Amino acid sequence: MFIRNAWYVAAWSAEVVADRPFARTLLEEPVVLFRDPQGRAHALADRCPHRFAPLHKGDVRDGTVGCAYHGLRFDGTGRCTLNPHGDGRIPEAARVRSYPVLERYGAIWIWMGEPARAEGAPAALPDFSFVDPEHNEVSTGYLLTHAHYQLSADNLLDLSHFQYLHPDTLGSPAIAGDPGRFSESGETVRSHRRTEAEQLPSFIARAFGVPDGMCVDRRFEVRWDPPGLMAIDIRVAPTGVTYGRESRSAHLLTPETSASTHYFFAFGLPKTLGPAARTLVDYALAGLVTPFRNEDLPMLEAQQAALGDSGFWERQPVLLPIDGGAIRARRIMERKLAEEAQCSNA
Amino acid sequence: MFIRNAWYVAAWSAEVVADRPFARTLLEEPVVLFRDPQGRAHALADRCPHRFAPLHKGDVRDGTVGCAYHGLRFDGTGRCTLNPHGDGRIPEAARVRSYPVLERYGAIWIWMGEPARAEGAPAALPDFSFVDPEHNEVSTGYLLTHAHYQLSADNLLDLSHFQYLHPDTLGSPAIAGDPGRFSESGETVRSHRRTEAEQLPSFIARAFGVPDGMCVDRRFEVRWDPPGLMAIDIRVAPTGVTYGRESRSAHLLTPETSASTHYFFAFGLPKTLGPAARTLVDYALAGLVTPFRNEDLPMLEAQQAALGDSGFWERQPVLLPIDGGAIRARRIMERKLAEEAQCSNA
Amino acid sequence: MFIRNAWYVAAWSAEVVADRPFARTLLEEPVVLFRDPQGRAHALADRCPHRFAPLHKGDVRDGTVGCAYHGLRFDGTGRCTLNPHGDGRIPEAARVRSYPVLERYGAIWIWMGEPARAEGAPAALPDFSFVDPEHNEVSTGYLLTHAHYQLSADNLLDLSHFQYLHPDTLGSPAIAGDPGRFSESGETVRSHRRTEAEQLPSFIARAFGVPDGMCVDRRFEVRWDPPGLMAIDIRVAPTGVTYGRESRSAHLLTPETSASTHYFFAFGLPKTLGPAARTLVDYALAGLVTPFRNEDLPMLEAQQAALGDSGFWERQPVLLPIDGGAIRARRIMERKLAEEAQCSNA
Ligand code: FES
Ligand code: FES
Ligand code: FES
């Protein structure tokens, strides 16, 4: 079960180019994305209403996508615009479901619930302006994880795992000392963590331009909004100094299925920082991808395998203080799922 | 669900050679085919009644197939003829199901329903004498398609897809102009289509010996009989001339499972045409295999994936005039399936 | 369904080394094995109670296994001994299931039923002292078979298949002559078989040091105890002589799942035989692995495929005299399974 009345990232903007259909399964539905001649993105169910051919096998022309099997064409609203056969009449039923989309923060967002409810929603998107390519140097990444998206949210809401799962890259003995603090405001969950007078692992030190051996304090803030929109803010300052360098990253989770997740991530720094911004975001992104792919991803998939078809709570997980953020996020999701279920029953 | 009281192609005759068992799953049942010393083909359930070893792992000798596990032997009627152990007594229950078979038109046909009903049936086979190797040069092919066999019948009953799915080989803008005409007689469905004054794609032109640039008319006739026995007849003549060259091919569909199909196909031309016949049928077959494997087959598999476990009608396909043949064939199949279901309940 | 109150082989002793966790799925449960500093083996459920990470991804230190995700540590009893986060408090629920284990005959044995019932049980293990490495030269092997373990027991309880399945290595026309004799005592089944005045296949002749062309008698004894603990004893003597050379092997079957089996096998000869013992057990083992892997294993997997989800009896196997041992063993297993089901319902 997924929350449907919510904006999900369907793709990074750069993934959907002119004149080429782009396919991705979202919330267990095959979707095709394409752009019209004005560059506006559109999203349709990736299934021709004639004989179910996937529309992404076809071509894009003049704002329409053409089916590769018998050539019907559909515009961004899902209306059939061409039947090339015989007298060319277009049956009323020749329509494809279209989904509201929105382009913001360098991503194409999709609304897979009731279209009418999408209207007022864009304003409600959490702030990810720090990865908006208009004003920032941004480095983006994407990975498909074969695990429920909430396991990825758990992972990011509790960075204590750095020390155990990533001992050679992100880990630092100072992290375990602080079990974290958590806060909730509206539907936003925040998890905070601090280290003091620590020597950074060298990958991290370099990412923040900290000289080897310098003692620093770190402050982590992880922000989560439903259905899985996360920002991680890390500040590093020489011990005792209150203001230092900052790293901000977006971590956007979209379920592919109930056991697999599209993980979109990005680092951004203001263009006003000059050419160093580009170097730093690329360095940070490259540095994240390796431990994520080699360490987090297999762990998430092993958790999913261990869960099998059971729900998370059925397995009776032991709760530790470090889980405060993850549990708050899970509770909010459960409440929202229950609300949607009730509405659609009403 | 499959129609059981019908002849299906189990194999091309040449696939089943002397002294070697040949295994194929048909209608979800594993079957072993072999020949006796007189060359007659036999078909048995491919499962030893002793400990379920597949009989096709064994050997063929003197018209019997021997089990590779403990050596029981069975003849073409399914009777156990040898227990090599101890006193050699053969238990009454040591029997394998045998299926009626028939060899005709270069193929071994199998009857997987009530054996008693197979008797009068051979005469009812539709005519495929144009691929009978006795009087014809024949070129045969086989492909396994991971899609329901009725999707392949749809595909062949509506050749309008040539233009969209096979633009570089079989397609021609003239095809879409004619939505086709359809007729039904008994359980036979025919779909007709015409082009006029078209310039043929070069592969097709060469197959019919038409000089480059010549204007021709084409006449297509697709004939379908249950459960999936199809003939395609294409005639090409210079525009305005009534008689021209002809290409005849057989397309025989046998379900492996409800989501996969054995596709047997062949081109035949009378031996009386001399050595050119051989060249032409080989050329036509080679020319068909490439677009089928690279274009039709992935499309059929994508349709199957889109259908998933749903039935065809559940997905509410949009009907177009071009579907007239395919829909007629589906209705006949549904009627026959319902009849068999009723009989076996009665 | 598995018998749970029984000792199963979890691993050969040498598979579980110091300071490294060893994972294996047994009776459909993921298990992690490790050794404490005294070398004692321990077995825990391979699933961290915090977030279900597999414990085998972690490290072993001072008799505890540490979780690779957030660093909780557990000792051999399944008790959590360290929470490295914050104030370090350990929740009461932070426990892993531990399984009784036993090290004997060069193997680690596990008890996956009620722990209390494991106490008196070690004494009940059938005798496999001939593969105890203390007094014997032993050569061990392991193969994973994708088939129900009872199919492997059937296979070994009826060696008549040698002649058909292994014609080039173990087969000999003399074997089929004797359908075998079977006996039952307590829960032990024995199957006996004899050949007389046979010429051995050359691999076997060499294994027993028999000169080429010599006429020998063979005596086979296969011993089976639940849940799948088997010993095969083969004696070879020149025809007419009562005492000859002997080969003893252990064949220990542990279900991985209901359709896959850990097959542990070993040959042993007393160290008192001198250096020849080592050569002979290695030769025998190597000679067994090849036909097993290339001939038995594909046959067992084909049987499993033929069974599908059906039970063995549902498929109505034909019974032959050669099946006397296998059927007795199946009956005992069915009785024991029914008893356990009754107890756990009571
Ligand atoms: S399947 Fe799309 S036009 Fe026929
Ligand atoms: S399984 Fe065929 S003879 Fe035993
Ligand atoms: S999952 Fe094992 S310590 Fe968290």
Annotate A55-115 with three-state secondary structure.
HHHCEEECCEEECCCCCCEEECCCEEEECCCCCCCCCCCCECCEECEEEECCEEEEECCCH
**Whether CATH 3.40.50.450 fits A129-341:** no
In this model, does residue B108 exceed pLDDT 90?
A: yes
**Cα-based distances in Å from C49 to A242, A261, A297, B186, C282:** 39, 24, 19, 68, 43
CB distance from B288 to chain C under 8 Å? no
Q: What is the mean pLDDT of residues B261-288?
A: 94
Give nearest CA residue, ligand 3 atom 3: C70
For residue A291, give how far its alpha carbon lies from the nearest alpha carbon of chain C (Å): 13
Q: What is the mean pLDDT of residues B143-154?
A: 97
Q: What is the pLDDT of residue A108?
A: 98
By Cβ distance, the residue of A49, A52, A67 closest to B307 is A52
Q: What is the pLDDT of residue B148?
A: 97
Q: State the chains in contact with A (3 or more Cβ–Cβ pairs under 8 Å).
A: B, C
Question: What distance in Å separates the CA atoms of residue C185 and residue C304, rounded to the nearest whole number?
Answer: 29
Q: For residue range C199-219, what is the model confidence (pLDDT) as tens digits? A: 888 888 888 888 888 899 999
**Cα-based distances in Å from A211 to A208, A215, A238, A242, B45:** 9, 9, 10, 18, 76
Contact A49 B317 (CB under 8 A): yes
Which residues in chain A have Cβ-Cβ distances shorter than 8 Å to B161?
Answer: 69-70
Q: For residue range C104-156, what is the model confidence (pLDDT) as tens digits? A: 999 999 999 999 988 766 677 999 999 999 999 999 999 999 999 999 999 99
- Residue A152 Cα to ligand 1 midpoint, Å, equals 38
User: Which ranges constitute the DSSP H helices of chain C?
Assistant: 149-157, 162-165, 202-207, 275-291, 297-307, 324-345
CB distance from C61 to chain A under 8 Å? no
Give nearest CA residue, ligand 2 atom 4: B70
In this model, does residue C346 exceed pLDDT 60?
A: no
Q: What is the mean pLDDT of residues B254-270?
A: 97
Per-residue model confidence as pLDDT tens for chain A (346 residues): 899 999 999 999 999 999 999 999 999 999 999 999 999 999 999 999 999 999 999 999 999 999 999 999 999 999 999 999 988 999 999 999 999 999 999 999 999 999 998 876 667 799 999 999 999 999 999 999 999 999 999 999 998 888 888 888 887 778 878 888 999 999 999 999 998 888 888 888 888 888 888 899 999 999 999 999 999 999 998 887 777 788 999 999 999 999 999 999 999 999 999 998 999 999 999 989 999 999 999 999 999 999 998 899 999 999 999 999 999 999 999 999 999 988 776 5
Most confident of A306-310, B281-285, C29-33: C29-33
Domain locations in chain C as residue ranges:
7-124, 129-341
Q: What is the pLDDT of residue C30?
A: 98
Ligand 1 pocket check for A68: Cβ under 6 Å: no
Class of domain B7-124: mainly beta
By Cβ distance, the residue of A164, A177, A307 closest to C69 is A164
Q: Which amino acid is at B109?
A: W
Q: What is the pLDDT of residue B212?
A: 80
In three-state secondary structure terms, C72 is coil
Q: What is the pLDDT of residue A54?
A: 98
Ligand 3 pocket check for C68: Cβ under 6 Å: no
In this model, does residue B174 exceed pLDDT 90?
A: no
CB distance from A309 to chain C under 8 Å? no
Q: What is the mean pLDDT of residues B181-197?
A: 94
In this model, does residue B285 exceed pLDDT 80?
A: yes
Residue with more model confidence, C170 or B185: B185
In this model, does residue C192 exceed pLDDT 60?
A: yes
- Comparing alpha-carbon positions, the chain C residue that sits nearest to B29 is C306
Contact B299 A84 (CB under 8 A): no
Question: What distance in Å separates the CA atoms of residue C24 and residue C14, rounded to the nearest whole number?
Answer: 14
Contact A179 C87 (CB under 8 A): yes
DSSP assignments along B85-112, one per residue: STT----TT-B--EE-EEEETTEEEEE-
Range from A103-112, C191-200, C227-236, C297-306 carrying the lowest mean pLDDT: C191-200
- Per cent of chain C over pLDDT 70 is 98
Q: What is the pLDDT of residue B122?
A: 63
Residue with more model confidence, B174 or C105: C105
Ligand 3 pocket check for C67: Cβ under 6 Å: yes
Closest CA to A325 of A177, A157, A151: A157
Q: What is the pLDDT of residue C181?
A: 93
CB distance from B307 to chain A under 8 Å? yes
